[in-house]
Structure 1
Amino acid sequence: MGAVPAGEPVYIDALGPTGPEPFRARERRPLTTLAGEPVGEISQVPALYVRRAISAMRAAPTTPAAQRFAALDKAADLFEGAAVAGLHPDDYAHLVSRASGVPLGVVRASIAWVADVLRTQRRTVELAMPRGVVADWRDPATTAGAAVWTRRGEVFAVHAAGNTPAVHGLWPEALALGYKVALRPSTREPFTAFRLVSALRDAGIPPATLTLLPTDHAVADVIIAEADQAIVYGGQDVVAKYEANPRVLTQGPGRSKILVTADVDWREKIDIIAGSVSHLGGTACTCATAVLVEGDPEPLARALADRLSLIPSLPPEHPDATLTVQPTDVSAGIDRYLHTVAGDARALLGGDTIVDELPSGGSVLRPAVHLVASSTAPQLGVELPFPCVWVGPWHERDGIAPLRDSLVLTAMTTREKLIEALLNEPSITNLYLGDNPTTWLRPGIPHDGYLGEFLMRTKAMIRSVPAAGSP
C-alpha cells in the first residue's frame, strides 16, 4: 500500500512474482466506507498479467521448509503488531471495520486468530499427516521403504471471502506445505489479504512464492484455470459451479446445526445456543442456522429470541458492537429475501424487519428467529449472513436425516447410539458434543478437514543406502 498517512487513499495493488514493488493496474475500482466515503482504490489486473505471474511462480524454486516456518513465525508478529505497508495495525483494524461493517471487536479477534494460525503451522502440518508417513525423502525410513508426504501440485489459488479477516486463517497451511500461493482478495475487504501477503513477504517468503492478484470475476476464473489446486468461497451458486472440479475445494454455506434431545435441559444451554447463532455477527459458516429440539421447540425458540433481541445496534467501530453493518440497500435486499424464504415459518424475532439504519451510515442486520413445523422444513437449509436461525421439532423416528449436510453439528445429547450414528454420517463434517458451541475452533483442529488432505498425497519410496565413500 506504500506509506499511508492518516486520511490518505489506500491503494490495493497487485503484488507480483518479480519483486517487492506493487503493480497498479490501469483498471481500478473504488473502495468506500459503509457511508459511501472513498478510502482508496483496488487494482483489477488483466488476464495476461495473471498468466505471466503464475507461469513465473511455477518456474520458481520451492522455498525450503526451514525458511517457510521461520517466515510464518515472523509474519505472525508483523501482521498482529507492526506497521505493514505503511499502515499501523490499529489503523488497519479501523479501516476494515469502516469499510466492511464487521464489528471492530470481531476484526481484532480475527487478527489474533490469524496470527495464532501462522505460529502453529509446524504442529498443524504434523497433525494433518497420516501416521507412518515421512515429510522428507531424506528421512532414514525411506532406505527400508516408506510413504513420503508429497504435494499434488505447485501453485495453489485462493479466492478469498470478505466476511471477516478470520477467513485468512486457512490458506497459510498451503505455504507451510511448500505450495506457491496466488491470492485473489475480496473487493469488499481486500485490506487483510494485502496486509497478510505483505507481512509474509517482509518476513522472508519470496515474491514468486506468494502473490496478490486483485481482479474481476472473469479473470478470477483464469487464476483457477492456471493453478494446480484452488479454494473458493461463496454461496450455493459458487459451490454448484465448482463442485464437480476435483482441483477446487469449495467453502460454501455451512448450514451448522444444534440438536437438543429430551435427556438434556435446554434451559441450561441457552447461552451456548445463542452464542452459536450470534458469534462473529452470525456471518461465519460455523454459526448455527438451525436448532432442532426433541419435544416442543417453541419455549426454546422464544427464549432464544429474547436473548438475541438484547444485542444492541451499534456502529461497527463501537467497542461493544457484535452485529454486522451493511449498506442500507444491501440490508434491505437481505430483508426482502428473508421474507420470501420464510414462507409459512412463524417469526418470533425479526418478522417485521431486520434492518436498523444507523445515523452514521449503513444498517445493522438484526437477529431473526423463526419457528418451523417439522424437521423436514425447507427453511432449515437456508443460511443468511447475519444471526438468522430456524427452530423446529425433532423426533427419534426422524433419525439423522434432518441433521445431514452440516459443517458443524453440536449435539446436546447423552445417547451413545445417536452419537455413533452422527459421527459416522459422512455429510456431518464436524461433531461437537455437550457444552461446545458450533463456532468453537482452535489452531491445529481441522475446519473442513485439514487443508493438507486436499493438497497432499502419499507416495511410496525406497532408496539404496549410498556406499561408504561414494559422492
Structure 2
Amino acid sequence: MAFALTPEVVYVDALGPRGAYRTRLLSPVTDVSGAEVARLSLVPPVYVSRALAALRAAAPRPPADLVPVLAAAGSAFASDSIGGLSVREYEQLVSRTSGTPISVVRRATGDTARFITRAHSSAQRGRPRGTGLDLADPAVQQGGALWTRQGDVFAVNASGNHPGVHRIWLEALALGYRVAVRPSRREPFTPHRIVQALRQSGMPDDHVMLLPSDHRGADTLVRGADKAVVYGGDDVVAAYANNPRVLPQGPGRSKILITADTDWREHLDVIVGSIADEAGTACVNATGVLIEGDPAPLAEAIAARLSVMPSLPPQDEHAVLPVCSLDRARALSSFLKETARGARSWLGGNGIADDLVGGSAALRPAVHEIGHDDPRLGVELPFPCVWVAPWKRTEGIGPLRGTLVVSALTQDAALLDTLLAEPSIANVYAGNHPTYWMAPGVPHDSYLSDFLMRSKGVIGRL
C-alpha cells in the first residue's frame, strides 16, 4: 500500500516505476500546529534518474485510449478509498497540513475530479484547427499538419498552497507525455491521491509517478525531463526565465480594474469574492484593485466586508481564512507592516496574525490604500490581502501589466481591446466575473499544449 496507517501518522510512499516505495529517509509532514501527521518518503537523485529513464522507455499510449482511464480516475478521486484513506480522511489531512479551510478543500475535490475526467477534451481545446492527430487522417497524408509532442517526459515541481495546482499537469498526461510529479512536502496528499487513482484505473506505473525528494532530487528531475513546470516565487521565475524547457509558475498578481462608467457598489460581491474566495491563497485571487476616481470609499467597503470573516481552525465547517503556524503568521504580519509603511490602512494595519492557541494562527485579511505608480500593487501574500489604488486613463494599462487575470468592470470597449492585446496579461474577464473563475478547457496561463506541442508539416504515407 502506498499509504500505511498507524494510530499516530500516515506513511506516504513514493510511487515509482515498480509501485510504491518506502525509503529510509522520511520527512515529517506536520499540521498547522506543528503536530506530525504523516511521514513522506524522500527518494534520492539516483532513484529520480532511474525513474525518469523508465518513463522515457515506456511506449506512449494513444491519447484517445486514455479517455476511459481518466474518467474512471476522476470518479475514484472524488469518492473511493484510495491507499487506505477515504475521501473525507484525505480532505482532513489536506486541510490540517495546508491550513486551507475544509470547505475549500471539499470544493477542490469535486473540481479536481472534473478536471481529471475532462483532461483529454481540455487538452484538445488547445489544438490548432488545421492539424490532425495522427497519420491515419487523410488530410494529413495528402499534405497537412500533424500535432506532435515536443518530448516524452514531463516533470512537475509542485507547490502546496492549494489542491488546484495539480489540475493542469493532467493535460500533459492526456497528450501522451509520461509524467513525474515532485509533491510539496507541505501537502503531498493531493498528487499522491491523483497518481494512485490513475494507476488503479489502468494507467501503467511507468506512465505517471510521484517522486518526493529534496532540492537535489528536484534539480535532477527538472534537468532530466524534456519539459517541466516549476512553481515558486519571483526567484524561481527569474531562475528559469531563459530556459525554454521550463515553464515557471510564479505569483499571479491578479487585479480588478473599475472605470468611472461603472458603479462599484453593484459589483461589491464579485470584488470581495475575488479577494477572499478560496481563502485568498490562489494565484487567481485579486491582490490589487484599481479604480478611476477616489479609492477610499471602495477600500472602506471592502474592509467592512472582510473584517467580519471569522478566525477558526481550518477543519471547522465555518472556516474561511487560511491558517499556518504561529511563527510563520507573525513573520508574515511583520513583513506586511513593513511593506505597508506609509500606506493608508483600512484593515490589518495592526497585524494579521490571530493566535488560535496550540501553535497555529489564522491570517486575517488586510486592505491598504496606496497611490499612483506604487510598486506595492504587485505584492502578493498567501491570505486575503489587497492594495486599492486610484487609476487615471493617462496611465493606460501600465499598472496592469504582468498580471495573470484582470477582471475589468468597464463599458469601454477600446480599453478592453487594449487589455486583450497586452502580452503580459494572461486572462481578461469583462464584466461581473470574479478573478478566480476557471473551467476545464479554458486556458489558465495560456494552454499548456502551447508549451508541450508543435505542428509539423506532413505529406504522404509514412
The two structures have a TM-score, normalised by structure 1, of 0.96
Distance 1:322 1:434, change over 3 A: same
Task: String of CA shifts for 1:418-464, please: whole Å, max 9, x gaps.
Answer: 11111101111100011001111111110001111110000111114
Matched, 1:441 2:438: yes
Task: Give the secondary-structure state (helix, strand or coil) at the position aligned to 1:426.
Answer: coil
Aligned residue in 1 for 2:399: 402
* Counterpart position of 1:10: 10
Give the partner amino acid of 1:404.
R
Unmatched 5+ stretches in structure 1: 466-471
1:291-332 superposed Cα distances (whole Å, 9 cap, x missing partner): 001010000000000001011111101111111100000111
Corresponding residue number in structure 2 for 1:145 = 143
**Does the Cα contact within 8 Å between 1:441 and 1:447 map onto a contact in 2?**
yes
Q: Which amino acid aligns with 2:384?
A: P
Q: Secondary structure at the residue paired with 1:208?
A: coil
Equivalent position SS for 1:269: helix
Counterparts of 1:47-196 in structure 2, within 5 Å, are 47-196=45-194
Using the TM superposition, give the Cα deviation of residue 60 of structure 1 relative to its aligned residue in structure 2, in angstroms. Answer: 1.2
C-alpha displacement of 1:4: 4.5
Distance 1:2 1:55, change over 3 A: closer
Deviation digits for residues 90-137 of structure 1 (CA, Å, limit 9, x no counterpart): 011011111221110111111111111111123212211011111112
Q: Which letter does structure 1 place at the counterpart of 2:246?
A: V
The corresponding residue for 2:209 is 211
SS of structure 2 residue aligned to 1:318:
coil
2-structure distance, mates of 1:122, 1:225: 27
Give the AA of the match of 1:448: D
Alpha-carbon distance in 2 for matches of 1:339, 1:308: 18
Residues 1:378 and 2:371 are matched in the alignment? no
Paired letter, 1:354: I
- Name the SS for the 1:207 alignment partner: coil
Which amino acid in structure 2 is aligned with residue 347 of structure 1?
S
Matches within 5 A, 1:411-426: 411-426=408-423
Task: Give the total of aligned pairs.
Answer: 462
Alpha-carbon offset, residue 241 of structure 1? 1.0
CA distance in 2, matches of 1:27, 1:4: 16
Question: What are the within-5 Å matches in structure 2 for residues 344-363 of structure 1?
Answer: 344-363=342-361
- Secondary structure of 2:14's match? coil
Please list every run of 5 or more consecutive structure 2 residues that lacks an aligned counterpart in the other structure. none
Aligned 8 A contact 2:228 2:247 in 1: yes
Q: Which amino acid aligns with 2:171?
A: E
Shift of 1:218: 2.1
In the other structure, the counterpart of 1:336 is: 334
Does the 8 Å contact 2:237/2:249 carry over to 1?
yes
Compute the displacement of 1:65 (Å).
2.3
Partner Cα separation in structure 2 for residue 178 and residue 461 of structure 1: 20
Residues 157 and 229, structure 1, Cα contact 8 Å, conserved in 2: yes
Q: Is the 8 A contact 1:233 1:251 kept in 2?
A: yes
User: Are the equivalent residues in 2 in contact too, given 1:106–1:164 (CA < 8 A)?
Assistant: no
> Secondary structure in 2 aligned to 1:397?
helix
How do residues 239-254 of structure 1 correspond to structure 2 at under 5 angstroms? Answer: 239-254=237-252
Provide the C-alpha distance between the structure 2 equivalents of 1:202 and 1:464, rounded to a whole number of angstroms.
37
Q: Secondary structure at the match of 1:363?
A: strand
Shift in Å at residue 66 of structure 1?
A: 3.5
Aligned to 1:369: 367
Identity between Structure 1 and Structure 2 (%):
50
Q: Distance in 2 between matches of 1:186 and 1:5?
A: 20
Distance 1:37 1:404 in 2: 42
Deviation string 1:381-425 (CA, Å, 9 cap, x unpaired) is: 101111000001001111111111110000100011111111101
Name the amino acid aligned to 2:290.
L
SS of residue paired to 1:106: helix
